[in-house]
């Protein structure tokens, strides 16, 4: 039985990836947000999904103590996830770290500006270069979808949902913003929630 939010999330994903737990990686934040550090998310666990890495963030929900007054919801009520296709990476470890950095940037918007990211939205930053470490990918932003492997979780500190980031090209995001394409439609056309840094644009 999980004693806190961190354990609840870890245990839930450990169960999903029970057959490949020995390959799980963990990344932590050197100086926590509450201690004045720049990164709001406490840690990340990276699970081996076979042909992809599944990156799970910890820190938008309440991990170690209940601080908010809302007893039904844990923290901001969500955590980020991301699935990275191994075959699309020149350097898997570098791309994992790049995704972690992006998750921290998005979480900073939540912590500093109160922006809440929900499924079936788009994230457009205006950048023209790829968000990969080499800035060569056609993927420049994201759509958000419910995490298929674990949509929601009840923890000792309340409920949260898992919001997965899926890479999108500038052309796809422009089409969404201009009303020519819906996020759900793009997700259906992709046919996967695993991000391939080398894929071309669908529009």
Task: Please compute the mean of the pLDDT values over residues 136-145 and round it to a whole number.
Answer: 98
Residue 150 domain-assigned (yes or no): yes
- Each residue of 113-124: pLDDT tens digit? 989 999 999 999
Q: Is the pLDDT of residue 153 over 70?
A: yes
Residue 140 domain-assigned (yes or no): yes
Residue 203 domain-assigned (yes or no): no
Residue 104 domain-assigned (yes or no): yes
| Token code pair at residue 43 | 């840690």
- Each residue of 58-115: pLDDT tens digit? 999 999 999 999 999 999 999 999 999 999 999 999 999 999 999 999 999 999 998 9
- What pLDDT, on a 0 to 100 scale, did the predictor assign at position 2? 84
Residue 202 domain-assigned (yes or no): no
- For 155, the domain range is 5-195
* Sole residue written with tokens 């081996």: 48
Q: How far is it, in rounded angstroms, from Cα 57 to Cα 162?
A: 9
> 121 phi and psi, to 5 degrees?
-120, 175
Q: Which DSSP helix (H) or strand (E) runs through 109?
A: helix 92-113
Task: Please compute the mean of the pLDDT values over residues 22-47 and round it to a whole number.
Answer: 86
- What pLDDT, on a 0 to 100 scale, did the predictor assign at position 125? 85
Provide the pLDDT confidence category of residue 35 given band limits of 50, 70 and 90.
low
Task: Please compute the mean of the pLDDT values over residues 16-27 and round it to a whole number.
Answer: 97
Is the full-model pTM beyond 0.85?
A: yes
Q: Is the pLDDT of residue 56 over 90?
A: yes
> 116 phi and psi, to 5 degrees?
-105, 130
Q: What is the pairing mode between strands 158-169 and 73-85?
A: parallel
Total number of domains in the chain: 1
**Strand, helix or coil for residue 41:** coil
Q: Is the pLDDT of residue 33 over 70?
A: no
Q: Is the pLDDT of residue 193 over 80?
A: yes
The total of other beta-carbon atoms located within 10 Å of residue 140's CB is: 23
Provide the pLDDT confidence category of residue 29 given band limits of 50, 70 and 90.
confident
Residue 200 domain-assigned (yes or no): no
Q: Where are the beta strands (DSSP E) in the chain?
A: 25-28, 43-48, 52-58, 73-85, 122-123, 139-146, 152-155, 158-169, 194-195
């Amino acid at each position: 039985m999980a004693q806190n939010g961190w354990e609840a999330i870890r245990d839930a994903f450990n169960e999903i990836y029970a057959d490949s737990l020995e390959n799980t990686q963990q990344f932590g934040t050197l100086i926590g947000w509450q201690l004045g550090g720049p990164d709001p998310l406490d840690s990340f666990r990276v699970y081996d999904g076979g042909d992809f890495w599944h990156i799970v963030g910890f820190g938008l929900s309440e991990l170690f103590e209940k601080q908010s007054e809302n007893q039904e919801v844990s923290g901001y009520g969500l955590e980020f996830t991301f699935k990275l296709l191994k075959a699309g990476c020149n350097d898997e470890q570098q791309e994992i770290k790049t995704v972690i950095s992006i998750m921290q940037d998005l979480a900073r918007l939540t912590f500093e500006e109160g922006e809440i990211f929900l499924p079936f939205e788009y994230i457009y930053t205006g950048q023209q270069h790829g968000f990969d470490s080499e800035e060569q990918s056609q993927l420049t932003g994201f759509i958000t979808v419910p995490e298929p492997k674990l949509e929601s979780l009840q923890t000792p500190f309340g409920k949260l949902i898992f919001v997965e980031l899926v890479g999108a090209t500038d052309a796809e995001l422009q089409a969404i913003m201009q009303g020519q394409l819906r996020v759900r439609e793009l997700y259906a056309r992709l046919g996967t929630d695993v991000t391939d840094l080398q894929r071309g644009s669908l529009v």
